[in-house]
Structure 1
Amino acid sequence: MDTLPAKPAERPVNRVLPPNPGQAAIVVAGLTVLLYLIELIDRILPANLERFGIVPRRLSGLDGIVWAPLLHGTWGHLLANTLPVLVLGFLAMAGGLGQWISVTATIWVISGIGVWLTGGGLTVGASGVAFGWLAFLLVRGIFTRSLLQLGVAVVLFLYWGGMLLGVLPGNPGVSWQGHLFGAAAGVLAAWFVAMAGRRAASKPAPAGDILG
């Protein structure tokens, strides 16, 4: 009888690009197209879809946590979020689609709850999620001790580092609360991912398949 060696991990924790780039590109492109379709419908009807955003500290505005990242106040608002959504959303899928969904859901919900608790007015836009992805990508290499991911973080910081100033109060028309809680959620998601990876790595490797 021959014993086959255990297969190596399919998604190493130090991966910097999605394991299936085509799938990742389709997912983030599809999400971006959805954002544009929603905005187009809102302008054509007009439907005033922004009213479904987050209304802080009102039960009637709590469901806006679900809808707010899909809605934008103007075309300019949507255009400003497009490149971060495409690039950061793609890179955040380095751990696979399942992990990306979990990370995105964590950012989406925590950012929304933070806005609902502390926001100053009706809030819409995908920037909170984008901030979360950026923070996730910036710190994951620290938690996973990956030089590759730290290298990507340096590049992202050099290009988008100024974006982090958006977590500070300043522009009354910008939800710094969404940015701040989105970034905090991204850090938390990176920690969760790293802890899950360490637990998986600590488990004894299977002996492999035995062929008779």
Structure 2
Amino acid sequence: MKPSSPFVFSTGTIGYPILFVLLIWIVFWVEVRFGVSFNSYGVRPGEMMGLRGILFSPFIHSDIEHLFNNTIPLFILSLALFYFYRPISWKVLLIGLIASGLLTWLIGRPANHIGASGIIYVLASFLFFKGIFSKYYRLVALSLIVVFIYGGLVWYVIPIDPSISWEGHLAGLITGFSLALIFKQNIVEPPKYHWENPEYSEENDPFMKHFDENGNFIENLPEEESDSEEVQYNYIYKDSKKEE
């Protein structure tokens, strides 16, 4: 019997990332349409009022370029999170949002820190390190894709541009790595076949009866022992292995 895939595509897999993107664009539209600014709702380090930015800042962007630069990585990385890590996706998002925002509040410069880049760094860091820890080829491949597309993000966790909240980026990177460690036990295990099972032995394999002691395939089994769908599948597999 073939193992079922651990990865499940559902409506929420693509629906939630689309919702996140719509929310940040709606907030920006409200600012432009009604001539208001929500910048004061960002994370303001060292101020008690600035703690509200932990929840609000990811939805606030300074201009259209800032918004556009965050839209695509937010969609792609959250899509990957909900597809590959659906059981823990909301925990990663909520804990990542709060932890990275709080860390930004603790280490940031006295200014308004706004934008979804903090949560983007949480997702990129989590997906990369979780895939490496898994040692599962699909998730390792995901890690390599993240590095290939977003590897340049690592330069923005140091103060190379005074107008960029590198503290928020660094907080996101640290938070994502920490979450990959915390949820290490929730890594999807690759499916094990019977030859990978430590308890497997040829003596208790019911399909070995299709071969004689010299490894030759027995074409004419007694009628009562032959030819269920599962038996056919396995002795065809065994025969192909012998030919190798």
Hey, what does 2:200 align to over in structure 1? Answer: none
- Which of 38, 44, 54 does residue 65 from structure 1 map onto? 54
Number of residue pairs aligned between Structure 1 and Structure 2: 185
Query: Counterparts of 1:66 and 1:34 in 2: how far apart (Å)?
Result: 13
Q: How does 1:181-192 map to 2 (within 5 A)?
A: 181-192=171-182
RMSD: 1.9
Question: Does 1:81 find its partner at 2:67?
Answer: no
Identify if the C-alpha distance between structure 1 residues 191 and 11 changes in structure 2 by more than 3 Å, giving closer, same or farther: farther
Hey, what does 2:101 align to over in structure 1? Answer: 112
Residues 107 and 129 in structure 1, CA contact (< 8 A), matched pair in contact too: yes
What is the percent sequence identity of the aligned residues? 24
Query: Counterparts of 1:165 and 1:106 in 2: how far apart (Å)?
Result: 24
Q: Note the residue ranges of structure 1 that are not aligned, 5 or more in a row.
A: 1-7, 199-212
Q: How does 1:27-66 map to 2 (within 5 A)?
A: 27-66=16-55
C-alpha displacement of 1:197: 4.6
Hey, what does 1:153 align to over in structure 2? Answer: 143
- What one-letter code is carried by the residue in structure 1 that aligns with 2:139? Q
Structure whose alpha-carbon radius of gyration is higher: 2
Residues 166 and 176 in structure 1, CA contact (< 8 A), matched pair in contact too: yes
Question: Does 1:124 find its partner at 2:114?
Answer: yes
Query: Counterparts of 1:63 and 1:171 in 2: how far apart (Å)?
Result: 25
Query: Counterparts of 1:160 and 1:61 in 2: how far apart (Å)?
Result: 29
Hey, what does 2:92 align to over in structure 1? Answer: 103
- What one-letter code is carried by the residue in structure 1 that aligns with 2:141? G
Structure showing greater relative contact order (alpha-carbon pairs closer than 8 Å, 6 or more residues apart): 1
Q: Note the residue ranges of structure 2 that are not aligned, 5 or more in a row.
A: 189-244
Map Cα deviations across residues 94-142 of structure 1 (whole Å, 9 max, x no partner): 221x511100112111211111111111111000100110011111122
Query: Counterparts of 1:197 and 1:150 in 2: how far apart (Å)?
Result: 12
Hey, what does 2:127 align to over in structure 1? Answer: 137
Question: Does 1:20 find its partner at 2:9?
Answer: yes
C-alpha displacement of 1:58: 0.4
Query: Counterparts of 1:134 and 1:11 in 2: how far apart (Å)?
Result: 24
TM-score normalised to structure 2 length: 0.71
Question: Does 1:170 find its partner at 2:160?
Answer: yes
Identify if the C-alpha distance between structure 1 residues 165 and 21 changes in structure 2 by more than 3 Å, giving closer, same or farther: farther
Query: Counterparts of 1:133 and 1:11 in 2: how far apart (Å)?
Result: 23
